[in-house]
Structure 1
Amino acid sequence: MGVRKAVIPVAGMGTRLLPLTKSQPKEMLPVVDKPAIQYVVEEAIDAGIQSVLMVTGRGKRAIEDYFDHSIELEHELESHGKLDDLHAVQRISNMIQVYYVRQKLPRGLGDAVLQARAFIDGDPFAVLLADDIIDGPTPCLVQMQQVARRYPGMVVAVMEVPREQTSSYGIIEGTAVVPGVWEVTGLVEKPEPADAPSNLAIVGRYILTPGIFDAIEQTEPGKNGEVQLTDALQAMLPFKKVYACEFKGTRYDIGDQMGLLKANVALALKRPELAGDLRQFLSETLETIFD
């Protein structure tokens, strides 16, 4: 399955990070030296995505400005001979073709994906949630594409979670095909631990086919009046195979305070120019606290 288009929903309000997100989109919060959304876009590019649609909402103008050209800034950098900075800024604007559509009401992930129907225009496509930075030896979306080529159908990324956390995720039921890949036989949105069919949780990566749009339109809103993508996928199971890919890598939920802190520390430690000083700082800080 060739996937060249991606949808990145960014309309969420980021309430888990208030007051930090009161005036700043959570997707623009810094992780080391670039906003979280850039990591997700770079993953899409590494997987061969050629164009991205961002589904935005109120208060998200900063995202559009970030991926646009800043003529005044570029002129200022060039006139002062700051060519390295100039090239870094221009690279962001030129990294991929980005389009935008507004989700006018917060009606859930399924409704956000539905806004992409005209952009997708009958092609298979990826969905990447900007809350999730996934760091691994191979980009998560590349791993999923490998599964999609071997097992035609739709693909969701999954990871094991403690059973007491199943009520925070969409959970799959499935039959193992090969190690790390399941044919999905059922999906449940945020089940209580006692009702969860497994502890394999869907995280923010999907490869979908255009039939998902009809399924979303026929999906009734669930809790909080939101249309769940998980419910639409469940409705498609009799007609379309869905596979689950347990990705290799570490997922950071940057919509959560601890996830954002972990992402900053872990990714900074992978940077040679930062790792030494950061390790020393962490060591000294821990000694001070526990002395």
Structure 2
Amino acid sequence: MDKVRKAVFPIGGLGTRFLPATKAMPKEMLPIVDRPLIQYAVDEAREAGIEQFIFVTSRGKSLIEDHFDHSFELEEMMERRGKSLDALVDTRFAPGDIAIVRQQEPLGLGHAVWCARRLVGDEPFAVLLPDDLMIGQPGCLKQMVEAYARVGGNLLCAEEVPHDRTNKYGIITPGAADGTLTEVRGLVEKPAPAEAPSNLAVIGRYILQPAIMDILAQQEEGAGGEIQLTDAMTHLIGRQPFHGVTFAGTRYDCGDKHGFVSATIAVALSRPDMASAVRDCLAGA
């Protein structure tokens, strides 16, 4: 079984729900306390053993590239003043570890993944959506990589959602279950609660086989006139092993303002250097 070495980060979206903050700054650079969203996703991928990081970007995203580059002037100034560079360690990469691909048209998540086909090649790969901030030990992708070592094939990250919210998610039609692993027999996009086959929702982490690129190459339009990753995955069900991995941890939907604020508070309360002050602030609110 081939190791999962590569990860695709589709980050071409405009972030219109966070305007005007995202007018000039990519939404993936919005900070949760003192780390941007994209940094959390990259750290999660590193923990899972990912070696190559493929960013599928669009115009106006160069700030993300700069974030993961060396900043010689800043580092020199900090060293001269005797300041620690520890806060910058995770933002550094060796040459070749990061690759940038442009998604020139906003044609959907499936299209964004397809844009990375040349760099993915003939290997299994992970997909991480930075809007979903996943807090757990071990991290979400590492849990999935460990499951992949057992069953191979394709994996989705799954989360149990309230039955009355199934119309907000792609929902799994479940087969046999074994602990956190559930066989995927089908996927239904945003079903009404009365028609949902389960309450297991697909959230923003995937491990996929390269065969999905051939399906995405057909450029079939789905919901909203976009090329949907869910539609392409449906074609592989029954042809290759397909499982959902229920994440043991907490997900924050940081594409939503409420989720973003909730994540900021939760992360702040988990930090020994600021938890007490934040609790005092919240108690006095």
Which bracket does the TM-score occupy, shorter chain normalised?
Answer: over 0.9
Q: Which AA in structure 2 matches 1:211?
A: A
User: Deviation of residue 214 (structure 1)?
Assistant: 0.8
The aligned counterpart of 1:288 is none
Alpha-carbon distance change, 91 to 151 in structure 1, aligned in 2, over 3 angstroms:
closer
Is 1:188–1:231's contact at 8 Å kept on the other side of the alignment? no
Superposed, 1:1-291 pairs within 5 Å as: 1=1, 2-82=3-83, 84=84, 86-94=85-93, 97-218=97-218, 220-285=220-285
User: Deviation of residue 91 (structure 1)?
Assistant: 4.0
Greater share of helix? 1
Q: Deviations over 1:229-283 (max 9, x none)?
A: 1110101113112100001000011111011101110011111111111111111
SS at match of 1:272: coil
User: Deviation of residue 95 (structure 1)?
Assistant: 7.5
Unmatched 5+ stretches in structure 2: none
- Tell me the distance in 2 between the aligned counterparts of 1:116 and 1:189: 24
- Tell me the distance in 2 between the aligned counterparts of 1:235 and 1:40: 27
The aligned counterpart of 1:289 is none
User: Deviation of residue 99 (structure 1)?
Assistant: 1.1
Is 2:172–2:201's contact at 8 Å kept on the other side of the alignment? yes
- Tell me the distance in 2 between the aligned counterparts of 1:114 and 1:211: 11
- Tell me the distance in 2 between the aligned counterparts of 1:176 and 1:259: 32
Unmatched 5+ stretches in structure 1: 286-291
Q: Which AA in structure 2 matches 1:153?
A: G
- Tell me the distance in 1 between the aligned counterparts of 2:90 and 2:77: 16
Q: Which AA in structure 2 matches 1:27?
A: E
- Tell me the distance in 2 between the aligned counterparts of 1:172 and 1:242: 11
User: Deviation of residue 219 (structure 1)?
Assistant: 5.2
Q: Deviations over 1:142-200 (max 9, x none)?
A: 11112111112110001011223222211110113312211110012222333322111
SS at match of 1:77: helix
User: Deviation of residue 87 (structure 1)?
Assistant: 4.1
SS at match of 2:73: helix
Q: Deviations over 1:50-81 (max 9, x none)?
A: 11000001211111110011222222222333
Q: Which moved more, 1:36-45 or 1:136-145?
A: 136-145
- Tell me the distance in 2 between the aligned counterparts of 1:100 and 1:281: 41
Question: TM-score normalised to the size of structure 2?
Answer: 0.95
Q: Which AA in structure 2 matches 1:158?
A: A
Is 2:155–2:244's contact at 8 Å kept on the other side of the alignment? yes
User: Deviation of residue 24 (structure 1)?
Assistant: 1.4
Alpha-carbon distance change, 87 to 180 in structure 1, aligned in 2, over 3 angstroms:
closer
- Tell me the distance in 2 between the aligned counterparts of 1:89 and 1:152: 35
- Tell me the distance in 2 between the aligned counterparts of 1:168 and 1:58: 29
SS at match of 1:94: coil
- Tell me the distance in 2 between the aligned counterparts of 1:111 and 1:196: 26
Is 2:111–2:219's contact at 8 Å kept on the other side of the alignment? no
- Tell me the distance in 2 between the aligned counterparts of 1:126 and 1:72: 34
SS at match of 1:191: coil
Q: Percent identity?
A: 49
Q: Pairwise CA RMSD of aligned residues? A: 1.5
